[in-house]
Structure 1
Amino acid sequence: MEHVGNGPRRRLRHRIPVRLRQHWRLVALCTAVLGVCGGVFGSGMIRPYAVRAPAADAAAGVTVDVRGTVDLFDTSVPHELTLTFGDAAYRDMLQEYFATGEKKYIEADLVIDGTRIPSVGVRLKGNSTLNGLTWNGMVRTRQGVRQGGGPFGGFGGGVFGSSLKGEEPENLPWLISFDEFVAGRRYQGHSQIAVRPALGRSATLLNEALAIALVGESGEPGQRFTYGSFSVNGRTSGPRLIVEYLDEGYAERLGDGVLYKALASGGFDYKGEDQTRYTTDFKQVNAVGSADLQPVIDLIRWVNDASDEEFASGLADRLDVGSFARYVALQNLLLNFDDMSGPGRNYYLWYDRATRRFRVINWDLNLAFQGDPATGPHDSVRRGFGPWRPPDGQGNARTRPGEPPQGGNRTRRDPVGGGGGPRMGHPLKDRFLASRAFTAVYEEQYRALFAGLFRDGTAARLLDEIVAAYKRNAGADTATVDTEAASLRELLQARIRALASDQVVSGT
């Protein structure tokens, strides 16, 4: 089986410890009965799902692991996902989101590659992605709900969510939970998967898929992905990008440690030792009950309070410096401004119990490959929306190689944001890049990644494989994917040309 961007290091066991829930035996029995009773669903033949419940998994809280018919993240075959839920429940979900911003789960039936899975939980997913979502003549932005169209306020308004409509659920971003309403259930080892949106600015999301694949090739922890045809309540969209979610099972595959998700609403400021004060900053993913937020709080306090000398000498005791250097270098190479220092706070922290050190985990790369291809190793990645286009004969372009977007000046490690926009920057990343103690390791990792991912043709090869994976699915828009792939190839070529002569890359 072919897994785009997923080398042998990524094929790991799917043994998943999760929290026990009450009455799981009764729920598991009901789930099995429903699965056996699954018959014809929609227009195609639906297979009742096959399950396995090894004693080790059951003891850890996994009661049902649905095998399915084919590996969901095998990109060498087409996939099909079908969601069905009640109209009233969907309206209630949208009303709740527009009124409060809360994304509540509703119950739905799901069919994946012919296997019916009843009573999954589905909810909207994303922050900036949903900014500008419209429904019933209303639009929701970070400033609240307003009537009618026109320019949307707030970061991302009119850019991310402006093409998303509540009346078109088949195009919305979804988080699918297999255990929200059936405790202990997994699908091929996963408790959750994410369905990325169908956005007008990029119908295929090739940029995100390529970025995920390159992270996998780099050796850093990343995600798996695939494309699949997708329909909701009989409404069909083109192939959607399906992405592995960083859940309890993902944490188990990383080893013995604790996984923490950074929240878009939070920051990295020390607020004292009361853990309840950090609930808007981080969410603990696994080991709930046997671990807590204290390691993260300790790291936050130290990063914010340490002198420059203490930071330089003590960071390696608290953080895998080599891994972090690769993480930071990747964000620059991938032209991803919305990383841990971006407005979405898109990252996870992994705490290794044996070494007592952290690693930063890549997450949410939908804004990769949309900035200035001439951005250097020590330049900040500027925000850029929509597929990159090369300059025309008059030198007009959304972003021109060698020239900063929007007429700004690119300076060494210049700050991004300001002017009342979203909060940018991150104390850990900013201090790391500002410290001369880590310049050498950062530049060494940057050179190695550029040589192994870009200059040697790996990125171009992966892009070809991703396009082929997209085209295998029903409803594929071949003209659109070819156009977007051509634009992305031009950006890659411009990126390689610009960096090839850079002093950091050349080692001079």
Structure 2
Amino acid sequence: MPPASSLRRRLLHRVPLRVRHYWKLLVTCGVFLVVCSVLFSTVRVAPLVTSASDGHADRVTQNITGAVELFDASVAHRITITFRDSDYQRLLDEFWQDGEKGFLEADLAIDGTDVPSVGIRLKGNSTLAGLTRNGQARSGGFGQGRPPGAGQAPPNGNGPVGGFPGRGAPDAAEPGAPGGNPPGGGAQRGDAPGGGGPASGFGRASLKAEEPETLPWLIRFDEFVDGRRYQGHREVAVRVAGMGGGATVLNEAVSLNVLAAAGLTAQRYTYASFTVNDRPTTARLVVEHPDEGFADTLGGSGVLYKSLATSQFTDQGDDPTSYADDFKQITMKGSQDLQPVINLIRWVNTSSDADFDRHLADRVDVPAFARYLAAQNLLLNFDDMAGPGRNYYLWYDLSAKKFTVVGWDYNLTFAGSATQGPHDTTIMGGPFPQNGQAPPQGLQPPAGMQLPDGMQLPDGMQPPDRMQRPGGDTAGGQGRPGGFGGMGGNKLKERFLASAAFKTVYEDAYRDLYGRFYASATALNTLDSITKMLSTVDGYDQTKTAADVEQLRTLIRQRTEHLATNSVITST
């Protein structure tokens, strides 16, 4: 007869995932409804969406100190994960059937310190679209219909769009002309300078469920043990390069390093050997996840909100539940709420241009926002707050009553053209054609991509399903703007960059950060130091890393040289 604990666990797994995950909330709601029915059966109760408290709701009962500081990026770390294959297959079943990214229970060891019963789950949206299982992709994934191991299907069926690092549109020259180099100075596929390679974006992913040591994971220390932290962290992320391509994720590591060196908010990172069950060991990038512990590093008292991939940043009324697929509150749950975000969204969408210029500083830390936007352009980040993943957080300072935009998820940096200017809009591989120009022949946008104003599709190019134009109307079917179903746009960013009132503060920030990132050789020196440290990590692939390093080094040099002559940089 199996032990009682094992029997309880088996019975527990028969309960649906959503019920298991939210059982405390369901029980609390049931008790609350009973109380309300008894005490307030004749009283009309109106929901309140404001709160004055700044207290923290989560209580830490155990903080594991470990033997080595996890985010000491100067040393190689070791992480091992052990779990039951049956639990893993159930996790895959849930993801394949309904897209649920549920947690499975695993035993973890970090630098020799055992941490039993942690929760791990698959992490990512577009990245997981290329995941295959037994050679088959999920319905709707980029890998659908691809042969085993082929990864994501490229947008036009021919080759990658954009890529890592510095890719242009495939086989494109001047708009409307086949062949040659892409607009914006990117190199052709296979060319060395700025060209694509093994880690290019679309079309190069090769994520297989049979290789869990290569997948993107979120590790949560308190999923099965309430109140537990590891060195103050509730969660850490094991990263893969953008769209699943690449192994070393050097672009994200370099980006996080130069951001921190310039005094901008950035998550900490490290490299570690990563072993899952008895699978081969790989070298993986581990990044601090913006959780409650990360919020404590932002200074002062405030509330951290995460933008979701489905976020629209549009006014949806007063009911906070209408924004459930736009923002998730990370800290101070129960004592603060979403009302400040709702107020900001409404004001940004309804204020006149004059009011926006005069009063944005009353609501947003303008100098910090200018530096955030300048950094995203300098790093060629395709997927910032206006990208398909809506990758950013909002930090609301309760004392100043102002928001600060916090960057997150930099695995699509260095994905554009080295010649992109300070006022160009980034897409994967380079800036979008402006002023009504057509995209290069052969460029087929991904399904759900947002179509910029004035852009006309060339003859013979069919708009993909759910392609969006700004404002929500579609060019090829019905669909909601936002996330991967509305490939870009954020009203706050767009209005800020379009306003002459903020041009000076943006260009000043751009000039300063160019000096800190590139002119000082910080990015190149960082790449060299990371490469040297990475060579000491078990599972390090010298051949793949060497290719990634040379591509990234070439792009950084090209970007440094090109921007050095730009009028924004040379003006004083």
Which residue of the partner structure matches residue 394 of structure 1? none
1:341 corresponds, among 382, 386, 398, to 386
- What is the identity, as a one-letter code, of the residue corresponding to 1:125? K
Note if 1:207 corresponds to 2:267.
no
Deviations 1:366-398 (A, max 9, x none): 01012100000001112139xxxxxxxxxxxxx
- What is the identity, as a one-letter code, of the residue corresponding to 1:364? D
Note if 1:325 corresponds to 2:370.
yes
- What is the identity, as a one-letter code, of the residue corresponding to 1:449? L
1:217 corresponds, among 261, 285, 292, to 261
Q: Give the CA deviation at 1:76.
A: 1.9
2:283 corresponds, among 236, 239, 248, to 239
Q: Give the CA deviation at 1:200.
A: 7.1
Structure 2 Cα separation of the partners of residues 302 and 500 of structure 1: 38
Q: Give the CA deviation at 1:142.
A: 4.2
Which residue of the partner structure matches residue 82 of structure 1? 80
- Relative distance call for 1:477 and 1:136 in structure 2 (3 A) is closer
Which residue of the partner structure matches residue 471 of structure 1? 535
Structure 2 Cα separation of the partners of residues 141 and 317 of structure 1: 46
- What is the identity, as a one-letter code, of the residue corresponding to 1:116? D
- Relative distance call for 1:146 and 1:494 in structure 2 (3 A) is closer
Aligned residue pair count: 431
Deviations 1:163-206 (A, max 9, x none): 00111111000000000000000000100000012787322111
Note if 1:193 corresponds to 2:236.
yes
Structure 1 Cα separation of the partners of residues 275 and 419 of structure 2: 39
Note if 1:264 corresponds to 2:262.
no
Matched-pair contact (CA < 8 Å) for 1:415–1:425? no
Q: Give the CA deviation at 1:484.
A: 1.6
Note if 1:169 corresponds to 2:167.
no
Q: Give the CA deviation at 1:143.
A: 6.0
Note if 1:229 corresponds to 2:273.
yes
Q: Which stretch shows the higher mean deviation, 122-131 or 418-427? A: 418-427
Map residues 40-59 of structure 1 onto 2, 5 A cutoff: none
Note if 1:449 corresponds to 2:513.
yes
Map residues 398-477 of structure 1 onto 2, 5 A cutoff: 406=440, 419=463, 420=467, 422-477=486-541
Matched-pair contact (CA < 8 Å) for 1:222–1:363? yes
Q: Give the CA deviation at 1:472.
A: 1.7
Q: Give the CA deviation at 1:153.
A: 8.2
Structure 2 Cα separation of the partners of residues 277 and 159 of structure 1: 33
Q: Could you tell me the percent identity over the aligned residues?
A: 50
- What is the identity, as a one-letter code, of the residue corresponding to 1:175? L
Which residue of the partner structure matches residue 252 of structure 1? 296
Q: Give the CA deviation at 1:311.
A: 0.4
Q: Give the CA deviation at 1:237.
A: 3.7
Structure 2 Cα separation of the partners of residues 481 and 137 of structure 1: 26
Map residues 121-160 of structure 1 onto 2, 5 A cutoff: 121-140=119-138, 142=140, 146=144, 149=147, 152=153, 159=202
Aligned with 1:202: secondary structure? coil
- What is the identity, as a one-letter code, of the residue corresponding to 1:382? I
- Relative distance call for 1:460 and 1:416 in structure 2 (3 A) is farther
Which residue of the partner structure matches residue 504 of structure 1? 568
Q: Which stretch shows the higher mean deviation, 466-475 or 117-126? A: 466-475
Matched-pair contact (CA < 8 Å) for 1:230–1:239? yes
Q: Give the CA deviation at 1:220.
A: 1.8
Matched-pair contact (CA < 8 Å) for 1:132–1:161? no
Aligned with 1:236: secondary structure? coil
Note if 1:282 corresponds to 2:327.
yes
Note if 1:365 corresponds to 2:363.
no
Which residue of the partner structure matches residue 114 of structure 2? 116
Q: Give the CA deviation at 1:154.
A: 7.3
Map residues 22-37 of structure 1 onto 2, 5 A cutoff: none
Q: Which stretch shows the higher mean deviation, 182-191 or 472-481? A: 472-481
- Relative distance call for 1:452 and 1:146 in structure 2 (3 A) is closer
- What is the identity, as a one-letter code, of the residue corresponding to 2:82? T
Structure 1 Cα separation of the partners of residues 131 and 93 of structure 2: 12
Aligned with 1:65: secondary structure? strand
Matched-pair contact (CA < 8 Å) for 1:130–1:161? no
- What is the identity, as a one-letter code, of the residue corresponding to 1:495? R
- Relative distance call for 1:247 and 1:448 in structure 2 (3 A) is same
Q: Which stretch shows the higher mean deviation, 481-490 or 145-154? A: 145-154
Structure 1 Cα separation of the partners of residues 496 and 424 of structure 2: 14
Note if 1:184 corresponds to 2:227.
yes
Query: TM-score scaled by structure 1?
Result: 0.80
- What is the identity, as a one-letter code, of the residue corresponding to 2:370? A
Structure 2 Cα separation of the partners of residues 183 and 154 of structure 1: 43
- Relative distance call for 1:354 and 1:200 in structure 2 (3 A) is closer
Matched-pair contact (CA < 8 Å) for 1:262–1:348? yes
Unaligned runs of 5+ in 1: 1-20, 23-57, 386-403, 409-413
Structure 2 Cα separation of the partners of residues 416 and 338 of structure 1: 22
- Relative distance call for 1:320 and 1:484 in structure 2 (3 A) is same
Matched-pair contact (CA < 8 Å) for 1:226–1:469? no
Structure 1 Cα separation of the partners of residues 454 and 207 of structure 2: 27
Structure 1 Cα separation of the partners of residues 527 and 454 of structure 2: 29
- Relative distance call for 1:160 and 1:130 in structure 2 (3 A) is farther
Query: TM-score scaled by structure 2?
Result: 0.71
- Relative distance call for 1:285 and 1:200 in structure 2 (3 A) is closer
What is the RMSD computed on CA atoms of the aligned residues? 2.7
Structure 1 Cα separation of the partners of residues 543 and 143 of structure 2: 36
Structure 1 Cα separation of the partners of residues 406 and 341 of structure 2: 14
Which residue of the partner structure matches residue 63 of structure 2? 65
Structure 1 Cα separation of the partners of residues 498 and 559 of structure 2: 24
Matched-pair contact (CA < 8 Å) for 2:205–2:246? no
Aligned with 1:131: secondary structure? helix
Matched-pair contact (CA < 8 Å) for 2:204–2:244? no
Which residue of the partner structure matches residue 16 of structure 2? none
Structure 2 Cα separation of the partners of residues 80 and 213 of structure 1: 21
Q: Give the CA deviation at 1:92.
A: 0.7
The 4+ residue runs of structure 1 with deviation greater than 4 A are 141-148, 153-158, 404-408, 414-419
Q: Give the CA deviation at 1:228.
A: 0.4
Unaligned runs of 5+ in 2: 1-23, 26-55, 162-200, 431-437, 444-451, 457-462, 469-485
Matched-pair contact (CA < 8 Å) for 1:239–1:473? yes
Aligned with 2:416: secondary structure? coil
Return the index of the structure with the highest Cα Rg: 2
Structure 1 Cα separation of the partners of residues 57 and 329 of structure 2: 21
Structure 1 Cα separation of the partners of residues 71 and 453 of structure 2: 38
Matched-pair contact (CA < 8 Å) for 1:261–1:283? yes
Matched-pair contact (CA < 8 Å) for 2:130–2:142? no
Q: Which has the higher contact order (CA 8 A, sep 6+)?
A: 2
Structure 2 Cα separation of the partners of residues 110 and 95 of structure 1: 23
Matched-pair contact (CA < 8 Å) for 2:81–2:275? yes
- Relative distance call for 1:154 and 1:278 in structure 2 (3 A) is farther
Note if 1:91 corresponds to 2:89.
yes
- What is the identity, as a one-letter code, of the residue corresponding to 1:134? T
User: In proportion to residue count, which structure has more strand?
Assistant: 1
